[in-house]
Chain A
Amino acid sequence: MIECKNISKTYKSGSIETDALKEISFEIKDGEFVAIMGPSGSGKSTLMHIIGALDTPTKGEYFLDGQNVADLSDDQLADVRKLKIGFVFQSFNLLPRATVLKNVMLPLIYAEIPEKKREALAKESLENAGLEESHFFHFSNQLSGGQMQRVAIARALVNNPSLILADEPTGNLDTKTGEIVLGTFQELNREQKRTIILITHERYVAEHADRIIHIRDGKIVEDEKNHKERIIHHSR
């Protein structure tokens, strides 16, 4: 459960102040699949950083599962990210010289999960993300773009977070692979009731979500239920 109340973010560069977010308020319930959509410079990246506990707002309150994240210290933010949030990035951000399994186990190392449990958890997570078992011991730079993004999704899932935050997850993929990845998100949402927030600037990508929040110039301009059903019929 995510609750943002009057969130503002102001960047200072010398004497010039730029308002990236202006008093934004919204709620996202558990199990929702929401797209945050807006052109570049709209403030959607800033919003994602705040939702992802990578940054704190200048003003306002942000509750994640009832906990106010707005005024936590760096180390407390790290704990929130570790336990409650799974990130999926546009550029995957896998460790290139490590195996697929090692990449997925990385969050478990910081969460201090005992070594014996890690591999089982990572395998389960990779299966959920739809990667074939034959790739588990490949190095991550030997995979295709779609496969890399699935590894990244598996890494986001492995700590069983309450929220998965995907920042332009299809931005580096071709249309067909992008569809498969978006399909994976839909499945995770429908079958496992995961809360997913998708950040994108493309209408087409946003339409895979159930709800679309439009953002422009640091303000929410529209919050719509998505009625166009873009369900991916893909064959695994």
Chain B
Amino acid sequence: MTTSDLFEETYSALLANKTRSGLTMLGIIIGIASVIAMISIGSGAQTTIQSSIQSLGSNLLMVLPGVQRGVGTQISTGRGGAQSLTAADADAIAALPTVKAVSPEVSSRNQVTARGTNTNTQIIGTNIDYLLTRNTELDTGQFISEQNIRAASKVAVIGPATRDDLFGAGNDPINQTIKIKQIEFKIIGVTKSKGGSGFSNPDNLIFIPYTTAQRFLTGNEYLTTIDVQAIDQNSMADLQTQITAMLLERHNISDPQLADFNILNQSDIVAAASSITNTFTILLGSVAGISLVVGGIGIMNMMLTTVTERTRGIGLRKAIGAKKRDINLQFLSEAVMLTFAGGFIGIILGWLIAYLISQFGGISTSISTFSVLLAFGVSAAIGIIFGYYPARRASNLNPIEALRYE
């Protein structure tokens, strides 16, 4: 039996029972479509989360103050509560060879007033390198300069959300003044919107020179964070080790377990978030996978019915010289063709669902070639697995008994 004969036999056998073939295929269509749609939601979420982590900055290491325990005392000040990082530490880090930019941060949360309006927002004392380390761009005006830092100038750069809150959308706040803790600051620039919302909205911030923040807002010489940007991704791990060694030495700590600082590596954050979204994708995919298995059982059920119905036909084919292999292939190819056609329609339907979800559901979705190939492979495999038993049953029929079957 040649391939084209096999194909034609399969085609006409499936067309002979259009309703039944269609309904059986529907099981596979729904299964494949939901797998495609679910995986697209999962990987869409992954892309969204990763890009929001990337918007923090690229190749970023964040040095945070850690827990400091004094010798002989059991009292912990809590993670991040230690006052251990200084501007001198930041300068020392900046001197390392694989460092591209270093921005110290002194952050506090304060009530801010402008003429007749007020808001409560986060004030970050930093320097010009913040633009690099935190991937921030200026919309209008200028950022904090070296001169501002040296002079501890009372100048501020505000985020677009803060501008809207204090001055109203579309108004130019440059050269206007705001008051933080009764101290007047002149606005010299506005940053570009990064998007985002909630507690840590990168658009709802006020930047001032870190020296100014230390002097007027916190009243001490310590830093809240040091953001370090490495020259490339490959040098990040090395740089992290170098900074750890250097800071331990500078702080006179011999036991690394007692370090009074932590270093967060951005790629660790990305990896952690990815593992969460991966789990999420696997969960969604396996729920959809169950419907695919149910669809496969539908195929098997239909094929078994078909084998019983066509018992006499199978007997006749054997009598006129069909071998086991011929019968086996014929029924197997019917199952595979059903799942293949179902898989193809399912992929289109799944893609459509994903598209509609991202259009109207507000969730971003992304369909990878991998998930399409996976769905196609799985549907073909289901055809073979669930078609195998009925086909074997057909090919093992005794021709004499099959011909007598009523």
Instruction: Say if A and B assemble together.
Output: yes
Q: Which residues of A contact B (CB under 8 A)?
A: 49, 52, 54-55, 74-75, 78-79, 81-83, 87, 89, 93, 95, 97-98, 106-107, 109-112, 115, 155, 159
Rounded to whole angstroms, the CA-CA distance of A95 and B310 in the bound complex is 10
Known: A54-B400, A93-B312, A95-B313. A110 touches B326 (CB 8 A): yes
Rounded to whole angstroms, the CA-CA distance of A84 and B266 in the bound complex is 78
- The verdict on B163 contacting chain A, using a C-beta distance below 8 Å, is no
- The verdict on B324 contacting chain A, using a C-beta distance below 8 Å, is yes
* Pairwise interchain contact A89-B403, C-beta atoms closer than 8 A: yes
Rounded to whole angstroms, the CA-CA distance of A85 and B315 in the bound complex is 15
* Pairwise interchain contact B316-A112, C-beta atoms closer than 8 A: no
* Pairwise interchain contact B321-A107, C-beta atoms closer than 8 A: yes
Contact of B319 among A54, A83, A111 (CB under 8 A): A54
Q: How large is the interface on B (under 10, 10 to 19, 20 to 34, 35 or more residues)?
A: 20 to 34
Q: Give the contacts of B389-406 with A (CB-CB under 8 A).
A: 399-400, 403
Shortest Cβ gap from B93 to chain A (Å): 78
* Pairwise interchain contact A93-B321, C-beta atoms closer than 8 A: no
Rounded to whole angstroms, the CA-CA distance of A110 and B2 in the bound complex is 8
- The verdict on B134 contacting chain A, using a C-beta distance below 8 Å, is no
Rounded to whole angstroms, the CA-CA distance of A112 and B9 in the bound complex is 14
Using A107-B321, A112-B1, A159-B321 as known contacts, list a sample of 6 further A-B pairs with CB atoms less than 8 Å apart, ordered by residue number in A: A54-B400, A55-B400, A78-B321, A93-B319, A109-B2, A115-B2
- In the assembled complex, 5 residue pairs joining A and B whose CB atoms fall closer than 8 Å, in A order, are A55-B400, A74-B324, A78-B321, A93-B315, A98-B12
* Pairwise interchain contact B323-A111, C-beta atoms closer than 8 A: no
Shortest Cβ gap from B312 to chain A (Å): 6
Q: Which residues of B contact A (CB under 8 A)?
A: 1-2, 4-5, 9, 12, 16, 312-313, 315-326, 399-400, 403
Contact of A107 among B2, B315, B320, B325 (CB under 8 A): B320
Rounded to whole angstroms, the CA-CA distance of A78 and B395 in the bound complex is 12
Rounded to whole angstroms, the CA-CA distance of A115 and B9 in the bound complex is 14
Rounded to whole angstroms, the CA-CA distance of A83 and B320 in the bound complex is 9
Closest B residue to A155 using CB positions:
B320
* Pairwise interchain contact A109-B323, C-beta atoms closer than 8 A: no
Chain B residue contacts of A110, Cβ below 8 A: 1, 317, 320-323, 326
Chain A residue contacts of B319, Cβ below 8 A: 52, 54, 81, 87, 93
Rounded to whole angstroms, the CA-CA distance of A116 and B115 in the bound complex is 94
Rounded to whole angstroms, the CA-CA distance of A109 and B9 in the bound complex is 10
* Pairwise interchain contact A79-B321, C-beta atoms closer than 8 A: yes
* Pairwise interchain contact B1-A78, C-beta atoms closer than 8 A: no
* Pairwise interchain contact B313-A111, C-beta atoms closer than 8 A: no
* Pairwise interchain contact B399-A54, C-beta atoms closer than 8 A: yes
Shortest Cβ gap from A58 to chain B (Å): 15
Shortest Cβ gap from B200 to chain A (Å): 68
Chain A residue contacts of B9, Cβ below 8 A: 109
Which 4 pairs from chain A and chain B are nearest by CB?
A82-B321, A107-B320, A93-B316, A78-B323
Quick one: which of A49, A97, A109, A155 has the most chain B CB within 10 A? A109
Chain B residue contacts of A55, Cβ below 8 A: 400
Chain A residue contacts of B318, Cβ below 8 A: 54, 78, 81
Rounded to whole angstroms, the CA-CA distance of A98 and B320 in the bound complex is 16
Chain A residue contacts of B5, Cβ below 8 A: 109, 115
Rounded to whole angstroms, the CA-CA distance of A93 and B16 in the bound complex is 18
* Pairwise interchain contact A109-B324, C-beta atoms closer than 8 A: no
Shortest Cβ gap from B91 to chain A (Å): 85
Rounded to whole angstroms, the CA-CA distance of A95 and B320 in the bound complex is 13
Chain A residue contacts of B320, Cβ below 8 A: 81-82, 87, 106-107, 110, 155, 159
Chain B residue contacts of A78, Cβ below 8 A: 318, 321-324
Closest A residue to B316 using CB positions:
A93
Shortest Cβ gap from B43 to chain A (Å): 46
Chain A residue contacts of B1, Cβ below 8 A: 109-110, 112
Known: A106-B317, A110-B317. A93 touches B403 (CB 8 A): yes
Shortest Cβ gap from A49 to chain B (Å): 6
Rounded to whole angstroms, the CA-CA distance of A225 and B176 in the bound complex is 128
Chain B residue contacts of A74, Cβ below 8 A: 323-324
Rounded to whole angstroms, the CA-CA distance of A54 and B1 in the bound complex is 20
Rounded to whole angstroms, the CA-CA distance of A4 and B405 in the bound complex is 29
Chain A residue contacts of B325, Cβ below 8 A: 75
* Pairwise interchain contact A112-B313, C-beta atoms closer than 8 A: no
Closest A residue to B395 using CB positions:
A74
